[in-house]
């Protein structure tokens, strides 16, 4: 693709030589002849990256501040420009797919995978991009992010088109929305699951987090919102006059409702009402999160044209999502491996497990380093209040002292009768098993599907599931 044609798509008329473009990147080390390098930093960091990109022979350099680099072009918003350039470079693949974007603090991964399952079981082809990787039809490939940078995102969409997919479900994180990673795309349906206190290390305030998530409303043609969420009105306001559906599990007036909710040993039953008809639904998983996730997914596919009579019976077949309320039984003791890493998610999971545990409820969890410092004591308080025994351990301490993190969690765990600290996560899981008896449930929370521990800049192989299986 020619440089002038590419830049013309974002309204830029450069005063630099035209060139054949083979890649678009925000990584200066990847800049080379035939590359457009977009500098998303400012100040000294930008200067160093621009010098490296120029040295590497980049055909064009886009940046927000004037520079002496001879092949540079100034743009007002480099991250937005990068997203729009990537969309154009990969041939606007979103225009050849029906995109479903899902944002929310909890439930994105499960809901995305459920929607994909339901679409495929009703005769459609569907790719997915999210926390578990990008799967365009050839198996999931890790991207390192819930929502990858724009070049990886649009490349994956192009691959989805190439592989014959008609739909693609995308998890869209609040950071991705704040950084314009998906702005070059148009979503046929935007879905908002809920808002909780996560990623405040990045957004600083809950208001700014909600503001970032509201950006999905501007990028979507139609919307599906959780009427039970405290911030639903904010999203309705952002939606404006767009077609919007609501779903609810609390009897709030909505387009899709879960009624007569009934818990069982390892599943939930409810009646789905779509405003005109009723259908019985049963879904695997404990507690209200299973109801919310399945109701959201069922509602989403019905807004896309799937009939209630087709969708509802499929709920019983919804797949087990890795690291999401994943059950493992060992000698009469039931482990539940879950990704819950926010106060809201931990409270919801413990409340659900309390309802199915025949004996005691033991919780093993920690909090990530260099992230959301304020939630640590809150999660300690929740775990101690809702568990019989709590074992506080590590969870990706990154560059922080694990003992410092554990201490901050334990400061909130004042109401528990039994609270222990074991920094070695493998030993903590083993300790929980040692303390358990037949009929007890052990929640191992925080890492879910993850297969590494991030400690001091290293990624050390680690899987909660593998540790449990080896006990």
Q: What was the pLDDT predicted at 387?
A: 96
Alpha carbon distance 242, 185 (integer Å): 17
**pLDDT per position in the chain (471 positions), as tens?**
999 999 999 999 888 999 999 999 999 999 999 999 999 998 888 999 999 999 999 999 999 999 989 999 999 999 999 999 999 999 999 999 999 999 999 999 999 999 999 999 999 999 999 999 999 998 899 998 999 999 999 999 999 999 999 999 999 999 999 999 999 999 999 999 999 867 677 888 989 999 999 999 999 999 999 999 999 999 999 999 999 999 999 988 999 999 999 998 789 999 999 999 999 999 999 899 999 999 999 999 999 999 999 999 999 999 999 999 999 999 999 999 999 999 999 999 999 998 888 899 999 999 999 988 989 999 999 999 999 999 999 999 999 999 999 999 999 997 666 999 999 999 999 999 999 999 999 999 999 999 999 999 999 999 999 999 999
The yes/no answer on whether domain 93-317 falls in CATH 3.40.1190.10 is yes
Q: What was the pLDDT predicted at 277?
A: 96
Neighbours of 165 (CB within 10 A): 25
Alpha carbon distance 340, 226 (integer Å): 19
Q: What was the pLDDT predicted at 300?
A: 98
pLDDT of 47-106, one tens digit each? Answer: 999 999 999 999 999 999 999 899 999 999 999 999 999 999 999 999 999 999 999 999
pTM: 0.94
Closest CA to 87 of 172, 223, 174, 181: 181
User: Token pair 């035939």 is at which residue?
Assistant: 34
Q: Is 409 helix (H, G, I), strand (E, B) or coil?
A: helix
CA atoms within a 13 Å half-sphere pointing along the CA-CB vector of 25: 18
Closest CA to 211 of 224, 226, 199: 199
Alpha carbon distance 37, 56 (integer Å): 10
Angle at 129 between CA 5 and CA 187, to 5 degrees: 60
Q: What was the pLDDT predicted at 199?
A: 67
Closest CA to 235 of 251, 219, 258, 250: 219
Tell me if 379 sits within 8 A of 412, measured CB to CB: yes
CATH class in words for 326-470? alpha beta
Neighbours of 374 (CB within 10 A): 11
Task: Give buried/exposed letters for 394-408 (b at 16+ CB in 10 A, else e).
Answer: bbbbbebebeebbeb
In DSSP notation, 207-267 reads HHHHHHHHHHHHHEEEEEEETTSTTHHHHHHHHTTS-EEEEESS--S-SEEEEEEEE-SSE
Q: What was the pLDDT predicted at 226?
A: 98
Q: Is 129 helix (H, G, I), strand (E, B) or coil?
A: strand
Domain ranges of the chain: 3-89, 93-317, 326-470
- Token readout for 135 is 């799967």
Alpha carbon distance 12, 80 (integer Å): 13
CATH class in words for 3-89? alpha beta
């Amino acid at each position: 693709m020619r440089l002038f044609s590419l830049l013309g798509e974002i309204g830029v008329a450069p005063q630099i030589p035209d060139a054949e473009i083979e890649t678009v990147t925000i990584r200066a080390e990847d800049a080379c002849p035939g590359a457009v390098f977009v500098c998303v930093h400012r100040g000294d960091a930008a200067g160093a990256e621009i010098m490296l990109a120029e040295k590497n022979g980049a055909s064009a350099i886009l940046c927000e501040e004037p520079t002496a680099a001879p092949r540079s072009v100034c743009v007002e918003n480099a991250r937005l420009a990068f997203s729009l350039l990537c969309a154009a470079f990969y041939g606007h693949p979103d225009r050849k797919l029906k995109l479903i974007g899902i944002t929310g603090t909890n439930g994105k991964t499960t809901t995305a995978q459920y929607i994909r399952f339901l679409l495929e079981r009703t005769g459609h082809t569907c790719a997915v991009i999210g926390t578990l990787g990008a799967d365009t039809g050839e198996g999931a490939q890790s991207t390192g992010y819930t929502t990858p940078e724009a070049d990886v995102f649009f490349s994956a969409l192009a691959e989805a088109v190439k592989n014959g997919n008609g739909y693609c479900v995308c998890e869209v994180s609040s950071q991705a929305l704040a950084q314009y990673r998906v702005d070059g795309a148009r979503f046929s349906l935007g879905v908002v699951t809920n808002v909780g206190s996560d990623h405040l290390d990045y957004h600083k305030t809950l208001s700014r987090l909600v503001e970032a998530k509201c950006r999905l409303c501007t990028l979507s043609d139609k919307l599906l919102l959780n009427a039970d969420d405290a911030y639903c009105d904010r999203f309705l306001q952002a939606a404006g006059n767009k077609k919007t559906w609501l779903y609810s599990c609390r009897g709030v007036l909505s387009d899709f409702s879960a009624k007569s909710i009934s818990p069982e040993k390892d599943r939930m039953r409810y009646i789905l009402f779509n405003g005109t008809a009723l259908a019985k639904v049963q879904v695997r998983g404990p507690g209200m999160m299973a109801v919310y996730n399945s109701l959201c997914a069922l509602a989403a596919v019905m807004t896309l044209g799937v009939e209630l009579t087709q969708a509802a019976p499929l709920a019983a077949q919804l797949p087990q999502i890795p690291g999401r309320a994943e059950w493992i039984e060992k000698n009469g003791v039931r482990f539940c491996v879950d990704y819950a890493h926010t106060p809201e998610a931990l409270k919801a999971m413990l409340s659900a497990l309390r309802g199915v545990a025949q004996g005691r409820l033991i919780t093993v969890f920690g909090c990530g380093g260099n992230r959301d410092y304020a939630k640590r004591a809150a999660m300690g308080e929740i775990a101690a209040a809702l568990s019989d025994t709590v074992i506080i351990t590590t969870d990706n301490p990154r560059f922080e002292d694990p003992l410092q993190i554990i201490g901050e969690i334990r400061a909130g765990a004042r109401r528990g009768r039994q609270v222990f600290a074991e920094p070695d996560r493998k030993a903590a899981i083993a300790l929980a098993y040692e303390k358990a008896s037949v009929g007890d449930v052990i929640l191992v929370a925080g890492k879910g599907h993850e297969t590494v521990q991030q400690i001091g800049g290293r990624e050390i192989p680690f899987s909660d599931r593998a540790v449990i299986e080896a006990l």
